[in-house]
Structure 1
Amino acid sequence: MKIPKGFRFGGVACGLKPQRRDLALVVSDHPAAAAGVFTINKAAAAPVLDARPRVPAEGIRAIVANSGNANALTGPAGLDDVAVIRSAVADALGIQKRAVLTASTGVIGARLPAMKIVTALPALVDQLGDHADLAAEAIMTTDTRPKMAAREVTLGGKAAVLSAICKGSGMLAPQLATTMCLVTTDAAVTPKALQEALSRAVQKTLNMVTVDGEMSTNDCVFALANGLAGNPRISEPGPDLAVLEAALTDLLGEMGRAMAADGEGATKLVEVVVTGAPGDEAARDCARSIASSPLVKAALFGADPNWGRILSTVGARAGAAGYPIDPYKARVSLQGITVFGGGAPIEFDRDNLRTRMRESRIDVLVELADGEARAVAWGCDLSYDYVKINADYTSLIIQKPDGGVAKDDRVSNYSPAFKRALLAEALKYIAAFSGQIAVIKYGGAAMVKDSLKEAFAEDVSLLKKVGLKPVVVHGGAPEITKTLEKLGERSEFVDGMRVTDAQSLPVVEMVLTGKVNQELVALLNARAAGAVGLSGKDGRLLRARKAVHESGRDLGHVGEVVEVNRDFLRMLLDGGYVPVISPIGLSDEGGSLSINADEVAAAVAVALGAKKLIYLTDVPGILESTPDGQLVRQLTTGDLAHRVQIGAVTGGMKWKAQSILTALAGGVERVHVLDGRQPHTVIAELFTDRGVGSLVTS
């Protein structure tokens, strides 16, 4: 994501949440104009009460935001904690206390342990840089993925950038603000003009998002504009303000859709369009009511084309608010298929529509005949998981002695019925997969965070204990890059492939085989997994030849697999061991070649006749090539090949996709692409009905 000039971001773990980033800092190196939109909840949290009277304003320099604790309904102590944090941030940055804004999100009613935040500030300030991704991760609560985006515009002949990070998954309702959203821009604009543009943009976007109809105590949207783009400062309505507002609206629209798609327990993004309404408020009200209706949301979860619930909702809102709307004149469409019009139901292919409604996005169109107003609202379906998430949200939250909070998520805390259902669901898969070989490509974020490393080791150990035969192929790109940087060497990539020259090859081999491999083997064997660390050179496991990029570019000592020593691996598997393979191949000349770990995993899976190949990545799975980036839960080789052909899959995912196609063509039955940033995704994917990632089959 492109960062506006003069802004720095950071995100660290300060201990408010167990083993996750929970403290973000956004800093402008130049005094910025600030604007804000806040919840209208009368039980507003302390950071909202502190910030609301102070914006719009000039001279704001920093926003510090935490997750894990809402600092809401905590009395005067909550405001005291805000003051302590603002002072500490000001001291750490060498700025005035009035230049600091705060935001919080998390559990309501627990006092915020401010000293945890204060203690973490030195490390957070040292980390500041182009780390919007870390800040976006740090403000997440029940979100499953970070949300961030940027836009570029031209104002007064100068290029300006707008960026946003946000969180939002539950307690989203359309009232002024619906989330924690931090917008930054290097455009020059007065606080008054920025506030007007932000308020209008929020009204059209974030104000039209609903997950559960519940308004949070902490909703806030901040915008900072430091003017470093150098455009003439915008102060009045005109072309430049219109351009800025349009970009802001587009940016917040993307954030709103991302939040709706990531709603608690959501399986589908729902977009509701209402046209022909008698006025703007009527259009917005009807669209939001449809998106909020539990009956409509439940029907969409079940792929039930129950259009009657949609029209009933419209009629109810019209009656309650006194809108001059006649539902009998409406036309209703689902997924582009008309189901009601001319005052009566319209015949449609029910099975076809149900199939279409199993897609990851549902489009609802209600065309009224009572005016010209139009509105769009975004929401999601209502799944079983929403109830599970919220049924125990606070009952399983425990206060730690140091003031932090953690979730006591042991299965023993759940009801007997839940435990029976969970066990029954898992057992049928355990029985089906017993004795099968599963090759796992381990890489990305799962290799960086200690908690994720441990969760992965536990998953692999469990797979072995329930009868599967796991084989692990690991990468190590982040560690390689970090080591090369320490040695003063720059990493170069071509289409996601690292160029490896003679000088960097020994470093690559040392990191992969000598460090990453050995650490992973130790983690697995601490759980009695019987892991054996291997380089592709051991036992001539991976015979390789020099690879050449399709452009003809020389990639250096980069190879591709020619042959896998299947007998060697089978001997280890039959002996009860878990092979852990470093992707270093052996050339026919006896030299080392660095091989893409995705390719190695596919080659190993084909050679062993594995039924399953699993890739851990830094994204939820294979995503739609749309601004929403929706997860594609299931697709075929034809679907994936088409996406590659049209350029919808690029960079590192392009090579992963090609490896997937190779594996399936070679006889692997099922390939799973999972989010390695989440713990225990391997177990959740293999042993539950719905899974958590993307499944590709032939």
Structure 2
Amino acid sequence: MIPPLGFSFSGVHAGIKSYRPDLALVFSEAPCAAAGCFTRNLARAAAVQDAAVRLPASGIRAVVVNSGNANALTGAAGHEAVRRIVAATAQTLRVPASAVLTASTGVIGVPLPTAKIEAALPALARGLGPDPLPAARAILTTDTRVKTSSAELRIGGKTVRLLAIAKGAGMIAPSLATTIAVICTDAAIAPPLLQKALSRAMESTFHALTVDGDMSTNDSVFALASGLARNPPIVDEGEDFESFAEALRVVCRDLVRQIARDGEGATKLVEFRVAGVESDALARELARACAGSPLVKAALFGCDPNWGRILASIGARAASLGARLDPAAAEVRIQGEVVYRQGLVEFDREAVRARLREPEVKVEVELGSGAGSAEAWGCDLSYDYVRINADLAASLTQTPSGGIARIEKLERHTAGFKVSLLLQALGYIRRFAGMRCVVYVGGAAIRHGPPLSVVAEDLLLLRSVGLFPIVVHGIADGGRGESFLEVHRSLVDLLGREDGKAIGIFGEDGALFRGAGEDFTVNRDFLTLLVERGYIPVVAPVGIGEDGTGRALDPDRVAAEVALAVGAPKLVFLSDVPGIRVGGELRSELEAADADELLRSGAVEGGMAKKLRAILRALKGGVRQAHVIDGRPPHGIIAELFTDKGIGTLVKAGGGT
């Protein structure tokens, strides 16, 4: 992710929160054209009131954002806090006070600890660098992951870049800008046109987003343009403006999807598309009505393809707007499957229910009465949304990397859920007792899945019921800003907390792997010794090359070879897809012969083909079962191994259970 020219970022812990970074800075070496969009809530926070009257403008150099305290409804003291922070930041950065904007997010009605922020500003300035992740982490509240997006385009023969950071998980409703976002670009563009492009992007993205229907007091989105790309300045609404505005819209759309996916208590991102009405504006209102309906959201959480609630929401909103349309004449598709077409239709309800368990759901409604269409985004409504907001402090935990995460422990679920889960799982627990199981936590699952603490909890649960895990992880960095090494160390730390019997292994350790890519050997004796002594090995796919230096190995192949080395009858792959798809359909179970045929016919390609080849090698060598599951929803391992239906694809050697 290459930042736009002229921008640098920083994030530090100022002491507003107990431990986590809570103060962010976005700085430009050149004066910027700047624009902003803000919450329409009449109870605007002090920082919003200050920035809203100053934008659009030129000459802006810095945006300072604090998290953990909203500085909202704090009266004159809140406005004085903004004035002091602006002045102190300007002095620290040696820029005019008029060049500094601020934003706040967090608890409402608590005085902002201004002195702590002022004291942290020198360290914040010293930490400025090209990496946006420190700033992206410092603005988080109940988010479980950082949210960034970028784009690149050519204007007048010059490369123009955009990069954005954002936060948001709750108190998100339409008719606002966003929670907090800062979008940087090196485009040369006049402030009024930057404002026009930003406002236009808001209409089809952030104004089409809802998590819980509650509008925050602090929502702010800033756009800063340094002009250092040296493109011909955009001063009118010509072709260059349209190209830039579209790139800005794409970035905002990406942020919206990330925010909806990370909604408080959410288990899935939901995209609603309404078409066939008299205008795009009406389509957007109807799509937002579906996205915001508690009944629709609850049905999606329960994997219920309840088209009736969808059409009821559309009918109610259309009536309130005085729109003329007939919901009964609609066609409704859920995950691409027609579930209603101008009346009742036959469809495979169980197949659609299975598709609704995926982490991304698409609902499409065609009303056939016009050319207008629009999208809206939201999430489902789960038990955890109530838990998080009824007892926020008890619902958050500190991650090893310093981030904030939602607690996903089983004890937070209802007694009925736990009883049903245990009864169903007992048979599997008896069957698996004493087995070894290799679990590959892929890089995509690490980036897009739940916090590593949740993954570790599942792995420790496996061990507690007698299914001994050996862990292999991908070589990508984590999605919350952790480096590859931090991911490795975090897994070792989390798995070893109970008894200290987790051990991290790189290929160099004990010469575990020799070779590179898919061509390597495994030191089986060393690995088996660790397992027999009760350790949970956490294996990084790095080996020793012929020249004695570390070499990256194919992680799918490593997982397969480790399973063969320790005699594990089970091999589990956590990825960022629901399982193995053939012709768009998820296959819940495959025999090895069927999988082999899929590879030969080319029905499975790319990364999944590579994974399937590794699986077949493992099955031919003695592994009895391999599972490919979606690692993004929490507790996917448990749902796959200890429930009758599972959630992904089971590939069997043949004749096994």
Quick check: 1:208 aligned with 2:166? no
Quick check: 1:61 aligned with 2:61? yes
Counterpart residue type for residue 41 of structure 1: N
Give the drift of 1:622.
Answer: 5.0
Counterpart residue type for residue 604 of structure 1: V
**Structure-2 change in CA distance of 1:462 and 1:624 (3 Å):** closer
Quick check: 1:235 aligned with 2:193? no
Please give the alpha-carbon distance, in whole angstroms, between the structure 2 residues aligned to 1:602 and 1:386. Answer: 38
Q: Which residue of 1 aligns with 2:481?
A: none
Please give the alpha-carbon distance, in whole angstroms, between the structure 2 residues aligned to 1:353 and 1:474. Answer: 32
Give the drift of 1:582.
Answer: 7.5
Counterpart residue type for residue 378 of structure 1: W
1:684, 1:691 within 8 Å by CA — same for their partners in 2? Answer: no
* Partner SS, residue 275 of structure 1: strand
Please give the alpha-carbon distance, in whole angstroms, between the structure 1 residues aligned to 2:109 and 2:2. Answer: 37
Q: Which residue of 1 aligns with 2:39?
A: 39
Give the drift of 1:673.
Answer: 7.9
Counterpart residue type for residue 562 of structure 1: T
Q: Which residue of 2 aligns with 1:402?
A: none
2:142, 2:396 within 8 Å by CA — same for their partners in 1? Answer: no
Q: Which residue of 2 aligns with 1:317?
A: 317
> In the alignment, which of 605, 609, 623 is matched to residue 563 of structure 2?
605
Counterpart residue type for residue 212 of structure 1: D
More deviation, 54-63/255-264: 255-264
Q: Which residue of 1 aligns with 2:384?
A: 385
1:674, 1:681 within 8 Å by CA — same for their partners in 2? Answer: no
**Structure-2 change in CA distance of 1:697 and 1:390 (3 Å):** farther
* Partner SS, residue 68 of structure 1: strand
**Structure-2 change in CA distance of 1:384 and 1:146 (3 Å):** same
* Partner SS, residue 183 of structure 2: strand
Please give the alpha-carbon distance, in whole angstroms, between the structure 2 residues aligned to 1:12 and 1:422. Answer: 45
Counterpart residue type for residue 230 of structure 2: G
* Partner SS, residue 8 of structure 1: strand
2:579, 2:630 within 8 Å by CA — same for their partners in 1? Answer: no
Please give the alpha-carbon distance, in whole angstroms, between the structure 2 residues aligned to 1:355 and 1:397. Answer: 30
Please give the alpha-carbon distance, in whole angstroms, between the structure 2 residues aligned to 1:221 and 1:301. Answer: 30
Q: Deviations over 1:450-486 (max 9, x none)?
A: xx999999987776566454446689999xxxxxxxx
Give the drift of 1:205.
Answer: 1.3
Q: Which residue of 1 aligns with 2:364?
A: 365
**Structure-2 change in CA distance of 1:265 and 1:539 (3 Å):** closer
Q: Which residue of 2 aligns with 1:85?
A: 85
Counterpart residue type for residue 565 of structure 1: R
Give the drift of 1:215.
Answer: 0.9
**Structure-2 change in CA distance of 1:684 and 1:85 (3 Å):** farther
More deviation, 685-694/218-227: 685-694
Q: Which residue of 2 aligns with 1:596?
A: 553
More deviation, 16-25/572-581: 572-581
Quick check: 1:669 aligned with 2:628? no
1:540, 1:565 within 8 Å by CA — same for their partners in 2? Answer: no
Q: Deviations over 1:189-242 (max 9, x none)?
A: 111111112111101111111122111111111100111111232233222222
Q: Deviations over 1:375-409 (max 9, x none)?
A: 221222222332332232257689xxxxxx99997
Counterpart residue type for residue 218 of structure 1: N
Counterpart residue type for residue 609 of structure 1: G
* Partner SS, residue 128 of structure 1: coil
More deviation, 207-216/344-353: 344-353
Q: Which residue of 1 aligns with 2:400?
A: none
Q: Which residue of 2 aligns with 1:174?
A: 174
* Partner SS, residue 171 of structure 2: coil
Give the drift of 1:37.
Answer: 0.5
Unaligned runs of 5+ in 1: 399-404, 479-495, 497-510, 550-558, 626-631
> In the alignment, which of 488, 498, 520 is matched to residue 561 of structure 1?
520
Q: Deviations over 1:520-556 (max 9, x none)?
A: 98997775334578776777755x3x44x6xxxxxxx
Counterpart residue type for residue 605 of structure 1: A
The residue correspondences of 1:107-122 to structure 2 (distance < 5 A) are 107-122=107-122
Quick check: 1:374 aligned with 2:373? yes
Please give the alpha-carbon distance, in whole angstroms, between the structure 1 residues aligned to 2:336 and 2:355. Answer: 10
**Structure-2 change in CA distance of 1:578 and 1:157 (3 Å):** closer
* Partner SS, residue 78 of structure 2: helix
**Structure-2 change in CA distance of 1:212 and 1:582 (3 Å):** closer
Q: Which residue of 1 aligns with 2:352?
A: 353
Please give the alpha-carbon distance, in whole angstroms, between the structure 2 residues aligned to 1:412 and 1:333. Answer: 34
The residue correspondences of 1:240-279 to structure 2 (distance < 5 A) are 240-279=240-279
The residue correspondences of 1:260-659 to structure 2 (distance < 5 A) are 260-342=260-342, 344-393=343-392, 417=415, 434-439=433-438, 467-471=466-470, 528-530=499-501, 542=513, 544=514, 546-547=515-516, 560-566=519-525, 568-578=526-536, 594=551, 596=553, 598=555, 600-611=558-569, 621=576, 649=607
Please give the alpha-carbon distance, in whole angstroms, between the structure 1 residues aligned to 2:124 and 2:605. Answer: 38
TM-score with structure 2 length normalisation? 0.78
Please give the alpha-carbon distance, in whole angstroms, between the structure 1 residues aligned to 2:648 and 2:340. Answer: 34
TM-score with structure 1 length normalisation? 0.74
Q: Which residue of 1 aligns with 2:655?
A: none
2:307, 2:332 within 8 Å by CA — same for their partners in 1? Answer: yes
Counterpart residue type for residue 82 of structure 1: V
**Structure-2 change in CA distance of 1:326 and 1:579 (3 Å):** closer
Please give the alpha-carbon distance, in whole angstroms, between the structure 2 residues aligned to 1:419 and 1:257. Answer: 30
More deviation, 252-261/181-190: 252-261
**Structure-2 change in CA distance of 1:387 and 1:690 (3 Å):** farther
Counterpart residue type for residue 385 of structure 1: D
1:154, 1:160 within 8 Å by CA — same for their partners in 2? Answer: yes
Give the drift of 1:62.
Answer: 0.9
Please give the alpha-carbon distance, in whole angstroms, between the structure 1 residues aligned to 2:351 and 2:444. Answer: 39
Give the drift of 1:112.
Answer: 3.0
Counterpart residue type for residue 435 of structure 2: Q
Counterpart residue type for residue 81 of structure 1: A
**Structure-2 change in CA distance of 1:646 and 1:253 (3 Å):** farther
Give the drift of 1:174.
Answer: 0.8
More deviation, 357-366/666-675: 666-675
Q: How many residue pairs are counted as aligned between the two chains?
A: 627
Give the CA RMSD over aligned residues.
Answer: 4.9
**Structure-2 change in CA distance of 1:209 and 1:661 (3 Å):** farther
Please give the alpha-carbon distance, in whole angstroms, between the structure 1 residues aligned to 2:457 and 2:333. Answer: 47
Give the drift of 1:596.
Answer: 3.2
Percent identity, please. Answer: 46
Counterpart residue type for residue 574 of structure 1: E
Give the drift of 1:685.
Answer: 8.1
* Partner SS, residue 68 of structure 2: coil
1:474, 1:597 within 8 Å by CA — same for their partners in 2? Answer: no
Please give the alpha-carbon distance, in whole angstroms, between the structure 1 residues aligned to 2:53 and 2:244. Answer: 25
2:408, 2:454 within 8 Å by CA — same for their partners in 1? Answer: no
Q: Deviations over 1:406-460 (max 9, x none)?
A: 999798996995996699599858766543324467898999xxxx999999987
* Partner SS, residue 106 of structure 2: coil
Counterpart residue type for residue 564 of structure 1: N
